[in-house]
Amino acid sequence: MFSAPTRAQISPGPLSRAHQAWNGPTQCTFCHRLGGGSEKFRCLECHTEIAQRLAAHRGYHAAVVNPQAAEKDCARCHSEHNGENFQLIRWEPSLKGFDHSKTGYVLEGKHAGLACQQCHNATRISPAERATIKMKDLNRSFLGLSRDCLTCHKDAHQGQLGKDCARCHNFNDWKTVTGFNHSRTRFPLTGAHARVPCQKCHKPEADNPQLLRYAGIPFGRCTDCHADPHHGAFKAACESCHSTVAWKQISQIKIGTVFDHSRTKYPLLGKHADVQCDACHKGADFNLPLAFNRCLDCHTDPHQGQFVARRDGGDCAACHTVDGFKPSTFGVREHAATTYPLEGKHLNVACAKCHIPAVATTVVGVSTVTVVSTVYKIKRTACKDCHADIHRGQFAGPSDDNRCEACHTVHGFVPSTFTLARHNSTRFPLTGGHVATPCGECHQARKPPGSNLPAPYRFANLTCQECHADPHHNEFAARMQQPGPQGKPQGCEACHSTVSWTESLQFNHATTAFPLLGAHRAVACMSCHKPPNLEVTMKNVVFNSAPKACHGCHEDPHAGQFAMAGSNPECSSCHSVERWKPSQFDHDTRADFALKGAHANVLCTGCHKNVRIVEGKPVLFYKPTPKDCAACHGPSVPKQG
């Protein structure tokens, strides 16, 4: 026996708790090969479960052990002679952080979130694998698990579909069968079948409600799954008329190949050929006899019995065909046979414009049903029965009685048949410029914004102001109120007529404070009555503001030579309204140099020669003019006596 100091010199250190049975200097060969030194290990002679996996190149150790180093490589992770409490298995960085892909089995989907013990526990290890594992507490072992899904999961299909779950399922969601393709089976899913839940066809077994049946399901005929709604009326296969797209979406072409409706008592024509079978054969019972002699056997009467009194009893075929309920075959020719033949614009009016739907209620059993039906028997004695009165009762009096035809025809509301001759029989005969004025210029709705007033045709006031604005702004109100020949106020006619507004031939200027005399008679109105703001019309002229003195219109050609104290010169003292020249100035009485003898025949400019430029214009100045002879005749003028 070796003493303690001797063991300390021979052994590199005490073994861990797992290897305590081989502690001591005489036990080395249990772990080390004799003569091989400290680097020759016999680990796999005891750990046979690891040896088997290394030999099979399976599991974690096969991925991390260096084959050339063999058992020597074990010490790289499992170091010994470090004391009894040393842990031989150390997880770096931690057990939860272990890279499971190194085992050859990558954790994906839901597997990645599982705790280790949910898979690595004794219940998951098969008996055959248990026999190869020497560890007593198998709940601490990470060996012995198979990678088959059924190692951990129950087979929901109980062996019907094999053991390879990954053919249909994935690790993310068991119920989402992404890997399964029904088209690879003997019954590919098409049309509506593709949307049917699996359990609709794969039903539970009678003795095992949890087990859905996937194998051995008959599918050769539709009736293997579906009931026959026709109760054996047809011998042909379902797919002869129907498809998996939709049961009610029936191929008329297919039907024609297996069933000829023309061989029945009711051949399908027009729109009937496109009608789905169950529209007539309710409940798809084709053995049930159907009435078909009258349209109303299948169709409701949209006219609610309006035509039952006709000779044909309201036969639908009189106006409609099987090619379509609309358009009706009841046209203009048929309408001409009624009490209201269509003429003019009425020929192009849509039926629904006159024959409008009416809403009525009726009691069916205990329910009140609203019925909408187009009315064909309508009142049509007057235009107003269909048309609104655009004149709002203006012609409702005894002489007119709202008879639209007095002014209009069915060929068009406009133009009216109300002629000029008829207008001249009214209280306002059209003369002058009024004859060419369109009706709408006078008869137009003078309505405020937002109102809905009609155009007026009955005027209480027939004065010009009813239609025309006063361009004189009430300047001649007093004159317009003066009575005319008939004793009524003259109004605008005091100056104007309907022939022409601008040619005021009826105005007598002599009745004003400034009668037109002499040359003034030929002067245009605008020359004296000037428009404001450089306007070119007399629309806004203020006539009473026209000046009456000469200087109001005429410039002073004498540059103020004859202005009187505090006032303008009086032109009429020398000139007249007949003409400006010759002047009527009396030189003998109004000047201090009487014209006598030869002077009486001398022109004014012979003596008055003092011309000055005033504001750019030459002006002849009459004062001062010399009176001595020498001033005009020179010093050598001979003197008498």
Residue 148 to residues 102, 125, 175, Cα–Cα distance (Å): 18, 12, 19
SS3 28: helix
Rg (CA), the chain: 64
Residues 80 and 16 sit within 8 Å (Cβ to Cβ): yes
Q: Over 60: is that where the pLDDT of 498 sits?
A: yes
pLDDT in tens, 561-589: 888 766 777 888 889 999 888 888 889 98
Instruction: For residue 454, give the nearest of 366, 394, 408, 534 by alpha carbon.
Output: 394
* Residue 519 binned pLDDT confidence (cut-offs 50, 70, 90): very high
User: d(Cα 524, Cα 535) in Å, to the nearest integer?
Assistant: 16
Q: Give the bridge partners for 619, in sequence order.
A: 612
Specify the pLDDT at position 24.
87
Specify the pLDDT at position 367.
65
User: d(Cα 525, Cα 538) in Å, to the nearest integer?
Assistant: 9
User: d(Cα 321, Cα 485) in Å, to the nearest integer?
Assistant: 76
Q: Over 70: is that where the pLDDT of 473 sits?
A: yes
* Residue 10 binned pLDDT confidence (cut-offs 50, 70, 90): low
The average pLDDT across 83-107 equals 90
For the chain, give the mean pLDDT.
Answer: 87
Q: Give the bridge partners for 373, in sequence order.
A: 358
Residues 495 and 512 sit within 8 Å (Cβ to Cβ): no
Specify the pLDDT at position 537.
83
Specify the pLDDT at position 210.
84
Q: Give the bridge partners for 617, in sequence order.
A: 614
Backbone angles phi, psi at 476, to 5 degrees: -110, 30
Residues 139 and 121 sit within 8 Å (Cβ to Cβ): yes
pLDDT in tens, 352-398: 888 888 877 666 666 666 667 888 888 877 888 888 888 988 888 77
Of the two residues 569 and 632, the one the predictor is more confident about is 632
pLDDT in tens, 160-213: 888 899 989 999 988 888 888 999 999 999 999 999 998 899 988 888 888 888
Residue 488, Cβ density class (10 Å: 0-12 exposed, 13-18 middle, ≥19 buried): exposed
Share of the chain above pLDDT 70, in %: 93
Residues 297 and 366 sit within 8 Å (Cβ to Cβ): no
**What's the distance, Cα to Cα, between the start and end of the chain in Å?**
206
Task: Give the count of beta carbons closer than 10 Å to the beta carbon of residue 255.
Answer: 18
Q: Over 60: is that where the pLDDT of 86 sits?
A: yes
Specify the pLDDT at position 256.
62
Instruction: For residue 213, give the nearest of 161, 153, 154, 283 by alpha carbon.
Output: 161
DSSP class of 152: T
Specify the pLDDT at position 407.
92
Q: Give the pair of three-digit tokens for residue 205.
A: 């077994």
Task: Give the count of beta carbons closer than 10 Å to the beta carbon of residue 296.
Answer: 12
Assign residue 429 a region: left if phi > 0, alpha if psi is -120 to 50, beta otherwise? Answer: beta
pLDDT in tens, 42-54: 999 999 999 999 9
Specify the pLDDT at position 617.
93
Specify the pLDDT at position 194.
93
Instruction: For residue 79, give the nearest of 45, 31, 112, 121 by alpha carbon.
Output: 31
Of the two residues 366 and 93, the one the predictor is more confident about is 93
Q: Give the pair of three-digit tokens for residue 556.
A: 């002073």
Instruction: For residue 149, give the nearest of 129, 174, 127, 128 by alpha carbon.
Output: 174
Q: Over 60: is that where the pLDDT of 541 sits?
A: yes
Q: Over 80: is that where the pLDDT of 249 sits?
A: no
Of the two residues 59 and 263, the one the predictor is more confident about is 59
* Residue 339 binned pLDDT confidence (cut-offs 50, 70, 90): confident
Specify the pLDDT at position 9.
55
pLDDT in tens, 216-233: 899 989 999 999 888 887
Q: Give the pair of three-digit tokens for residue 185.
A: 């089976």
Q: Over 70: is that where the pLDDT of 57 sits?
A: yes
Q: Over 90: is that where the pLDDT of 448 sits?
A: no
Which residues neighbour 481 within 8 Å (Cβ) at sequence distance 6 or greater?
489, 490
Q: Give the pair of three-digit tokens for residue 54.
A: 């290394």
pLDDT in tens, 101-148: 999 899 999 999 999 999 999 999 999 999 989 888 999 999 999 999
The reported pTM is 0.45
